[in-house]
Structure 1
Amino acid sequence: MDVLLRAIAAAPDSASPEQAAMRALAAVTTDLVQESCRRHGIRGLEAIALGRALTAGCLLTTLTKSPVERLRVDARSVLDSRGPGGGEGEAGGFLLDAHGDGTVRGCLRRGFGDTPLRATLERASGRLPLSPFLGRRGVLTVTRDFDMSAGTDSRYQGTVELVAGEVDVDLEHYLNASEQVPSLLRCEVLLDANGDVLRAGGLLVQTLPGSDGEVLAPLRQRVGGEALASLLMLPREPADLLRLALADGPFEVVGETPLAFRCNCGPAVARDIVAMLGADDVEALAGEREITEVRCSYCGERYHVTAAELRELAAELRLKRS
């Protein structure tokens, strides 16, 4: 079962856990990443990119320990131009939707095509780079809804420029620059020989108020490069990931959250999406085909709306308009 641990820890040079300087979160996300990739029908580089994003979402949305918190990430990037023709290149990035109860969903804005995984792995020195496929130029927008049932506005939104075209590096930059909390974020996905997800997990460490951001420097060295991927070569628990980051230093577990893939789409949501076309276009669509298919971008589920249902919807929209 996928799970996330929250802990507090002392600074690396302190042997006393009572002098907590950091909060540390570790998550094993193998099952939910596998499920999401299965639904999207992706593997290889696309699975690594989506898996890193889903893992980051689980870590970021459970910071407040509130099950009603919602975190949305919209990463919009432009791939570097290819060939002598110039131009802006293809759009890239990803979408992420995570909740404080440990549920998460997400999708890539575009596929990576037929890029050979083996050749990419052979060219990579250290950690597998995704920036050539996700795009390194663009913006990252993070929206936090702390209490969606509250009558007052409890939303916080921040936007930063992409700095690396890497999911966790850019989200770490957001935490440092927009939320202004010294942070270390690393997420990793391992593939089997067929390019399917074998294991996934991640770490988020942040300083507590009054602590210097320099306490993260030795941790950054320990989890850099292939360190996290090497640890995940064998089945691990979140506590194992914490021990890697903290060099077996003392830490105190203060909470645990089960994690899972979940999408809130359904027939009613699909109908609402079609309704956004407007009454005239909905009725025109009913005349073009007997069945209209609506596919959820977050989970790949397909919903079918009949021509009769479309005509009924168009009538409802006109009634509301009048």
Structure 2
Amino acid sequence: MSDYLVKALAYKGFVRAYAVNATETVAEAQRRHDTWNTASAALGRTLVGGLMLGATLKGDDRLTVKIEGDGPAGAIVVDSNGKGEVKGYIKNPHISLPLNEIGKIDVRGAVGTEGMFTVIKDLGLKEPFSGQTPIVSGEIGEDFTYYLAVSEQIPSAVGVSVLVDTDDSIKTAGGFMIQIMPGASDEIIDQIEARLKETARISTLLDEGQTPEEILQNLLATDDVFFLETMPVQFKCDCSKEKFASAIITLGAEQIQELIDQDHGAEAVCAFCNNKYQYSEEDLYALKQEILGE
């Protein structure tokens, strides 16, 4: 089954909901960055959350999620857009911690409990929108939930989950985001909260063969679920040799000449996808000529 996200309304429009199977998307990130199990779970959860936040945008509008905690993982950065495309990286991919006290992957131990959770939205306006909240748990799902409640004033429940296999590969990955709209009754909220408490992790439900649609039906605890859209999702990076060439030009003619003289070329590596781009002496000379207008 290819990765996809569903958007739905429930309770006569008072509840907006999203669920995603992002197993192959997270697996692609794991392979590209060679993440070890704890880092895989931390990056994977952030990718899943980023996908669902991105699904609230239109088409080419994009956002960046940055989690900068005090744990050994270092910064986690994820970019997504309204088309279901996501990319991301974790500063220290080789993190493998002992399981936590309940026998689960210790994402909090990797991320840390002090630091900032930032979302920057580029909606094609003059200035990007930026919201920032402190990290409240380091488990990532709760941090997305807190951000939405405080920064965007949307009461939400966000669940993000990654099942990592014994060989560090990704078994399943996915998540849900349930948002309560203004005017929703306490009864609706209580019903959903009760169901959330008794539902297994999303990665477990996916592993059992449940679809995002079935997961939402179960979580929302009502027959009144109206599915609006199904959207494919994927790990996709928009880097290119041309984009990195533009970055090299900003170094200036003198520094480019140094690269030619000392290194006889250059290599650029994309932080998001690990693609490598080679620039020969001739390539660098052409970029230098471009600066000098020759």
TM-score, normalised to structure 1, is: 0.83
Q: Aligned AA for 2:44?
A: G
CA shift for structure 1 position 194? 1.4
Shift of 1:144: 1.5
Change in CA separation of 1:186 and 1:126 when aligned onto 2, cut-off 3 Å: farther
- Which of these residues, 243, 264, 285, is aligned with residue 290 of structure 1? 264
Distance 1:213 1:303 in 2: 55
Matches within 5 A, 1:245-260: 245-247=219-221, 249-260=223-234
Percent identical among aligned pairs is 28
SS for the counterpart of 1:92 is coil
* 2:182 aligned to which of 201, 209, 212: 209
In 1: Cα distance, 2:195 partner to 2:37 partner: 26
Query: Which amino acid counterpart does residue 145 of structure 2 have in structure 1?
Result: E
Aligned pairs (5 A) from 1:236-247 = 236-247=210-221
- Tell me, yes or no, if the aligned pair for 1:142 and 1:157 is still in contact at 8 Å: yes
Aligned to 1:244, what secondary structure does the other structure show? helix
- CA-atom RMSD in angstroms: 2.3
Could you tell me how far apart the structure 1 residues matched to 2:187 and 2:249 are? Answer: 52
- Report if the CA contact (8 A) 1:28-1:200 is conserved: yes
Paired amino acid for 1:294 = A
Q: Where does residue 34 of structure 1 map in the other structure?
A: 27
| Aligned partners of 1:28 and 1:236 also within 8 Å | no
Tell me the residue number matched to 2:90: 108
Question: What is the distance in 2 between the residues matched to 1:9 and 1:110?
Answer: 40
**What whole-Å deviation, never above 9, does each CA across 1:286-306 have from its counterpart, x for those lacking one?**
211223211111011111111
Contact 1:186 1:223 in 2 (8 A): no
1:144 corresponds, among 105, 121, 127, to: 121
Matched, 1:231 2:205: yes
240 and 312 in structure 1: CA distance in 2 versus 1, 3 angstrom threshold: same
C-alpha deviations, 1:279-321, integer Å up to 9, x for none?
222211121122321111101111111122223223322449x
1:127: how far off?
4.9
Measured against aligned partners, the alpha-carbon deviations of 1:221-278 in whole angstroms (never above 9, x if no partner) come to: 5445853343233233111220232235431111121111110001012212323333
Give the distance between the partners of 1:280 and 1:259, measured in 2 at CA: 43
Q: Which ranges of structure 2 fall in alignment gaps of 5 or more residues?
A: none
Distance 1:221 1:230 in 2: 19
d(CA) in 1 for partners of 2:56, 2:266: 41
- Higher mean alpha-carbon deviation, 301-310 vs 204-213, is at 204-213
Match of 2:64 among 67, 72, 80: 72
Long gaps (5+) in structure 1 = 11-18, 80-89
Q: How many residues align?
A: 292
Q: For residue 217 of structure 1, report the CA deviation from its aligned partner.
A: 4.9
